[in-house]
Amino acid sequence: MAIKGYIRERFFPHIWCPGCGHGIVLNSLLRAIDKLGMSKNEIVVVSGIGCSSRISGYVDFHTLHTLHGRALAFATGVKMSLPELNVIVPMGDGDALAIGGNHFIHSARRNIDMTAIVMNNRIYGMTGGQYSPLSGYGTLATTAPYTNIDNAFDTVELATAAGASFVARSTTYHVQQLTKILKQAILHEGFSVVEVLSQCPTYFGRKNRKGTAADMMEYYKNNTTPVGSTAKKENPDLIERGVFVEKEMPEYCKEYDKIIERAMKESS
Amino acid sequence: MKNKNIKFVQGNEACVEGALYAGLDFFAGYPITPSTEIAELLSYRLPQKGGKFIQMEDEIASMGAIIGASLTGSKVMTATSGPGFSLMQEALGYAIMAEIPCVIVNIQRGGPSTGIPTHVSQGDVYQARWGTHGDHAIVTITASNHQDVFQTTVDAFNISETYRTPVILLYDEVVGHTRERLVLPEQGELPLVERLRTSVREGVNYHPYLPREDGRLPMSDFGGVHRYNVTGLFHDMWGFPSDNPEVVHDLIRHLVDKIRNNVNRIARFKEYYLKDAKCILISYGSSARSARHVVEYLRPRGEKLGLLELQTLWPFPHDIVDEKCINAKHIVVVEMNMGQILREVKRAVERPERVFIANRIDGVFITPKDIRDILRVIQGKGV
């Protein structure tokens, strides 16, 4: 199907600024879904609040635009109630890891089958450029005029420690890799986390003198390296991208099916 | 003869029985006193009928999960108490805005804050009404005994599905933890409302948020043939965000009017000896038990006393209360807070100077003697 077939044209133009990376993530996501040949009726996209979360409105699936930080909680209800649905949860970094941090680690711990996409632009864009839990020490933001003294999470390490059974990272520069990873993540049975470094030239870029959107994407090109590469050993500052965790673990809804089976047997 | 339909249960268990009778499919919750038995019992009972139970990481997540599950077509519920109810308020507003059927049980304990977790209070009446931000309407129902807990729980699901609205069941610790008799009705004995689903066929435009002439919105389950957007933002008939003043105005009117226009249909109450009553007690929840005891005790002693027991607290049945109280010399609101329903009654009746309160706010259940002592003062019979 043409990519246009997955989009609600009625709701365009989108709200994203020129140069925003989120459109690239949307593009990659739709190409991944297209390659998987999934029916639009079996996909539910659940999002929270923020620039990234507007993705849900633009795509022609069942879409649930929820509360700031709570997308994974709503998604858990959707998935558990009707496990045959494919649930995809695009979130921003503040949405997923500040206000929604608790839901993030508990969803990972349960290993409930859904795909969490953390679109990491290191800033709260929709409210105008405040520091997020991924901005990092020394960055500038409208709420860190003297520089940020908050340390950043490493999304991959956090998701891994919390028990996610699929963890990956890519960037908006590496669209082919991103599409491939998203495909893998959607196919993976369990809680999948895909962090995508996505540029915000309007706020993070401007505040931190990162140049244009193209400059920021070039930064992703020059400062990332495939997982386990020798380049990382030589330059520890490089950010690794690729699949970090992919393991088979009991999936939550499948486990609950066993509970139902047991409860029904015992009560009959 | 042994009747297997008769049980000796806690109020919380009566609520569970009512929810299962009404067709509960999905429950998400978080442990909190004094509501926890509801979660415990449902974790055991729901999977026996193929339903789902999940203990979430907090009450915010619990509300989120039941809303998500409701959209797939499930009948859903959560249960909590004071602090947990506070945490649910944002998502409760979401359910109002996106018109998601769901039932929220609050077994009230004393607040504010952590308060007095194991003792009774009725202090959340206003929170149920105005806890979430913004203009809105809400349905809140309570009961004083286990048969009525069962019945009002079934009602809550029916109202929730009929009006596509969250319904709050505002019981209290005494009702929740008292054990008494419950007679389970046979299946089919009480009417059950199933969700109104759209008849729009695949390939034909379905407008999820275009109300019919009667104000009702037929739903389409997630996973079905109609793909649409659900949001907590003001939205148009497609469910897509809109800040068009006309859209915003029409939606808020619709959300409020669908409840306000049905106040009398939603109103549930019981009355005892009101016809010739010179003094009317108005009460609800467990305090109505003591109020009723006072009425039954003083009637044979010549006092023209009556009781109006409210079950629907919101939307407040102003007209009904006004009409029932028209001939009363004194109206005494019996409740365990500092006058939350008192204020509504004063707003409802003519000559509000007739309205008094008999209350306790110390975590101790209000007794018939407490009420009688206050009545003597109100009636000028001395302390």
Please name the member of B72, B229, B241 whose beta carbon is closest to the beta carbon of A78. Answer: B72
* The pLDDT of residue B218 is above 70: yes
B168 and B309 both lie in a single domain: no
**pLDDT digit string (tens) for A119-161?**
999 999 999 999 999 999 999 999 999 999 999 999 999 999 9
Tell me whether residues B64 and A76 touch, CB distance under 8 A: yes
Q: Does the residue B256 lie in any domain?
A: no
Cα atoms in the 13 Å half-sphere on the side-chain side of B382: 0
- For residue A110, pLDDT over 80 is answered with yes
Domain range enclosing B333:
270-378
Q: pLDDT at position B3, please?
A: 75
Are residues B64 and A102, on separate chains, in Cβ contact within 8 Å? no
**CA A78/CA A76 separation, integer angstroms:** 5
Domain harbouring B48, CATH code:
3.40.50.970
- Coil, strand, or helix at residue B271? strand
Cβ–Cβ under 8 Å, residues A169 and A156: yes
**Residue B263: inside a domain:** no
User: CB–CB of B56 and A76 under 8 A?
Assistant: yes
Is the residue at B167 inside a domain? yes
Are A63 and B229 within 8 A, CB to CB?
A: yes
B4 pLDDT band, cuts 50/70/90, is confident
Same domain, B148 and B41: yes
Strand-pair category, B116-120 with B109-110: antiparallel
The partner residue sitting opposite A62, judged by closest CB among B60, B90, B227, is B227
CB contact at 8 A, B232 and B68: no
Q: Is residue B163 part of a domain?
A: yes
**Residue B248 resides in a domain:** no
Nearest alpha-carbon partner for B112 in B124, B104, B94: B124
Q: How far is B373 from chain A (nearest CA, A)?
A: 49
The average pLDDT across B130-153 equals: 98
Confidence at A14, pLDDT banded by 50, 70, 90: very high
pLDDT tens-digit series, residues B23-75: 999 999 999 999 999 999 999 999 999 999 999 999 999 999 999 999 999 99
Domains defined for chain A, CATH in brackets: 3-267 (3.40.50.970)
> Is B1 a residue whose pLDDT tops 60?
no
Q: Which of B183, B204, B220 is the last residue of a domain?
A: B183
Q: Taken in order A11, A17, A19, A23, is the CA torsion positive or negative?
A: negative
**A165 CA to chain B: closest CA distance, Å?**
19
Q: Could you read off the pLDDT of B242-262 as tens digits, one per residue? A: 999 999 999 999 999 999 999
Percent of chain B with pLDDT over 90: 97
Distance, in Å, from the CA atom of B10 to the CA atom of B179, rounded to the nearest integer, reads: 4
Mean per-residue pLDDT, A85-111: 98
Question: With a threshold of 0.90, does the pTM exceed it?
Answer: yes
Specify the number of domains making up chain B.
2
| Same-domain check for residues B275 and B177 | no
| Residue B316 belongs to domain with CATH number | 3.40.50.920
Query: Of the candidates A73, A84, A85, which has its C-beta nearest B60's C-beta?
Result: A73
**Is A263 close to B48, i.e. CB distance below 8 A?**
yes
Boundary (domain end) residue, out of B132, B160, B183:
B183
User: What distance in Å separates residue B226's CA from the closest CA in chain A?
Assistant: 8
DSSP β-ladder status, B139-141 and B116-120? unpaired
Q: For residue B279, is it within any domain?
A: yes
- Establish if B210 belongs to a structural domain: no
ipTM: 0.98
Last residue of a domain, one of B183, B216, B241: B183
Per-residue pLDDT of A22-75, as tens digits, reads 999 999 999 999 999 999 999 999 999 999 999 999 999 999 999 999 999 999
Residue B252 is assigned to a structural domain of this protein: no
